């Protein structure tokens, strides 16, 4: 199996460059940004976190 057929490898290729960056978007109600992290234990797993503005209505609903 080469990288082209492996969804995990494709994901790593897409998300790898975004590690440590703030990716704009992720919320329609505020100026949110996303951060990408690779799971320390499961290298094929990724964590994408959306960071909302303090004033975001969606963010307030979650609290």
**Which residues contact Zn ion (rule: CB under 5 A)?**
27, 29-30, 32, 52, 56, 58
We find the least distance from the C-beta atom of residue 41 to Zn ion, in angstroms, to be 29
We find the least distance from the C-beta atom of residue 26 to Zn ion, in angstroms, to be 8
CA dihedral (22, 33, 48, 41) positive or negative: positive
Spatial separation of the C-alpha atoms in residues 63 and 60, rounded to whole Å: 5
- CA neighbor of 11 nearest in space, from 1, 3, 22: 3
Q: Which is nearer to Zn ion, 7 or 24 (CB)?
A: 24
We find the least distance from the C-beta atom of residue 22 to Zn ion, in angstroms, to be 14
């Amino acid at each position: 199996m080469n990288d082209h057929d492996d969804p995990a490898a494709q994901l790593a290729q897409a998300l790898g460059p975004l590690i440590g960056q703030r990716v704009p978007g992720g919320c329609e109600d505020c100026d949110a940004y996303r951060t990408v992290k690779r799971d320390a234990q499961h290298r094929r797993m990724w964590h994408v976190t959306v960071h909302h503005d303090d004033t975001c209505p969606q963010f307030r609903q979650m609290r």
